[in-house]
Every structure is written in C-alpha cells, then in structure tokens.
Structure 1
Amino acid sequence: AGHHLSAFDTADPPAIGVVDVTSAHSSARFTVVMMDPDAPDPENPVNAEYLHWLLTDLPANRKPEVGAGVSVVAYTGPAPPVGTHRYVLLAYRQPESAQPFLTPEHQQEVLAQGRKRFSHAAFAAAHGLGAPAAATYFQVAASEG
C-alpha cells in the first residue's frame, strides 16, 4: 500500500527525480503524470483519472529538485472531498528524438482537454511513450470537520 500523507504535506509540488538504471550517464528525459483514479469519490470515480500534474523533459540521474523539467499542467495538490484517494505517479521515458517533448501546440491540446477524465494510457499512446518506466503512489484522506 502507498504511504498515507496529509493534504498539507502534499500541497506543494514535490522534489522529483528519476534514476535511469540502464545507464549512469544517460541523457534520457522523462514525463511524469500524477493523477487521482478515485475522483471525486472512491465509491463513484466519475472524474477519474483526475490530472494533478504533467511534467515533461525531466532529466534522468540528477538530484531530485523542485522545479526540474517543464510543468505542462501545473501541480495541484490533493484535496479529496470524501474518502481516501490514491495519487498515482507514472514516469515514462521520452523518445530520444523529441526535444523538447511537447511543442507549445501539443501543450495547448493537453490543457484544452482539462484535468477531469484524463487518460494516462491514451496520452502515452498519442505521444509514443509506451509503458511506464516507473510508478508509485500515495494516499490522502479527506479532512474531517
């Protein structure tokens, strides 16, 4: 199970880094998707996958830092209205030929789709990303009172 964190602890974007285990001197770049598969209610997730963050061009093998990469969809911290939600982070290796990964036109397409009912699988397929190279998740419960 993922770690249980508070909404307060996750309000700001995390320092994030990706280690490329295939090469210590890799020039690989990664795209990170953070989404909520339980929005707005784990019992009725009609807005799943709710997109909380889309980060591209994250260089591999660097010390994790806030502000690395290109934030295509700005980070919005978890604030579940009801129940305990899972927040999933998926890291995809970007194609070597795509630098920068998303052109301004592609960024506008992603933004126009909005955050509700985002599909990480459709996004990955549309941009030739393949399967995630890494994944993790954490959980945040709705505030009481």
Structure 2
Amino acid sequence: MYRLFIVIFVHIVSGHNGYDHEVAKYFSEHQVVPNVISVPPKQGLKVTYGENEVKFGNELTPTQVKDIPSVEWNADPTLFYTLIMTDPDAPSRQNPEFGEWIHWIVVNIPGKDISKGDTIAEYVGSGPPPHTDLHRYVFLVYAQEHKHDFEEPILTNKSGNGRAKGSVKKFAEKHGLGYPLFGNFYQAKYDDYVPILYKQLGE
C-alpha cells in the first residue's frame, strides 16, 4: 500500500500539473530559451504542413513550409489566443542582426479557430539566405485575458517591411500576454524556393 501511494503521488506531481518537461527540454537544447523566450511553453503545439509535421527542431525545407500550416492546441473554447511564428536567426544564427524576423501573427483567436482570429502579420514561409545554415522557426501560442484591439500595423505577405528586428518578448509584454502556453519549432536552410519568396516580398 505504501509503495502504491508513492507511485500515485509522483504521478500526480509530475504528470498532472499541465507542464510537459519534454517540451522544456527541446526548447532549452535548441536555445529557443533564452534566445526567443525566457520561459518554455507548458505544452506542445501540433503544427503540420500537409504530411510534414513540426517536431521540436526537425529539419523541413522552405518548399515544404511555403503555405500556411495547420496549427492545433488544447484550447479552452471560452478564451482568446495569440499565435506567433518567428525566426531569431536572421540573417544567420551566428549573426542575428535582423532577428527576430516575424513570420506570422494572429490575435483574438476564439478557442483554436485561427480562421476567426485577426491577422496582424500575414503568413510568410521560411526564406533563409544561402550559406547561412539552419534557422529556427518558432511557433508560440499565448492566452489573452480578453479580446481587444492590438493597435498594430497590418503586415502583408507581399512585403518584408516591418518584420525585421521584432521581439516576441516585447510584443507579449506590451499586450499583457504573459508567458506562452503552447509551442513548437522546426529548422530550415536555403533551397530553390527562397528566391521565389524573395520576389514575392519585393526583395
């Protein structure tokens, strides 16, 4: 009986506090913490590009991630959420002069229905310059206290203006979002789709 009590107690403490230690491990190993955020997300975020799934640092190609992904999380249907995708490694991880480069921001998402949220920055896929090795592309979801006007400029996917030198931390602080609840990330390096993306952005 005593052993059974110990097992049950440990399970409650480690498995039912809503905190996934595997997520924290991956975010620390790839230095997303502290490069992008100071506290890791509590849980993982399911992100898929067709048949390609984002798996905490796996490598995908710019061609594979050129279109908007499917993103799902364990949402409370009574809450609103903010979704952000960012690249801290612009133009390279060794020289992140323009990082973070903001790829996507959707706010006021009811539950997990992204289509009903308000898009601040339209989705732009990965465009790492040639010879800059792997970039990290980080997805984060924050809970909002309520639906509100973020009063941010709208960024289209036809231009790269306004996306460089962003900061998820500062954005979250400005809008009172606290720490991210859900997250995931992949890595990518240059392929033949990148020049097409640059042309789309007028670069």
Task: Quickly name the TM-score band, shorter chain normalised.
Answer: 0.7 to 0.9
**Contact (CA 8 Å) 1:18, 1:59: kept in 2 or not?**
no
Q: Which residue in the other structure is 1:93 paired with? A: 143
1:107 to 135, 138, 152: 152
Higher strand share: 1
Higher helix share: 2
Aligned-residue sequence identity (percent) comes to 32
Unaligned 5+ segments in structure 1 are none
Instruction: Tell me which structure has the larger Cα radius of gyration.
Output: 2
Q: Which residue in the other structure is 2:60 paired with? A: 5
Higher relative contact order (CA 8 A, sep 6+): 1
Q: Is 1:35 aligned to residue 86 of structure 2?
A: yes
Q: Report how far residue 17 of structure 1 moved.
A: 2.5
Instruction: Quote the Cα distance in structure 1 between the aligned partners of 2:82 and 2:135.
Output: 22
2:170 to 116, 122, 128: 122
Three-state SS of the structure 1 residue aligned to 2:152 is: helix
**Contact (CA 8 Å) 1:13, 1:75: kept in 2 or not?**
yes
Q: TM-score, normalised by structure 1?
A: 0.80
Unaligned 5+ segments in structure 2 are 1-55, 156-160, 193-203
Q: Report how far residue 68 of structure 1 moved.
A: 4.5
Aligned length: 130
**Contact (CA 8 Å) 1:47, 1:116: kept in 2 or not?**
yes
Q: Report how far residue 72 of structure 1 moved.
A: 0.9
Superposition misfits of 4+ residues, deviation over 3 angstroms: none
Letter paired with 2:142: Y
- Give deviations 1:33-65, integer Å, cap 9, x for gaps: 100010111110101111001111222255xx7
Q: Is 1:17 aligned to residue 64 of structure 2?
A: no
Q: In 2 relative to 1, CA 18–102 (structure 1 residues): closer, same or farther, beyond 3 Å?
A: farther
Q: In 2 relative to 1, CA 57–17 (structure 1 residues): closer, same or farther, beyond 3 Å?
A: farther
Instruction: Quote the Cα distance in structure 1 between the aligned partners of 2:162 and 2:143.
Output: 23
**Contact (CA 8 Å) 2:89, 2:99: kept in 1 or not?**
yes
Q: Is 1:76 aligned to residue 121 of structure 2?
A: no
Q: TM-score, normalised by structure 2?
A: 0.58
- Give deviations 1:105-124, integer Å, cap 9, x for gaps: x122x75x811110111111
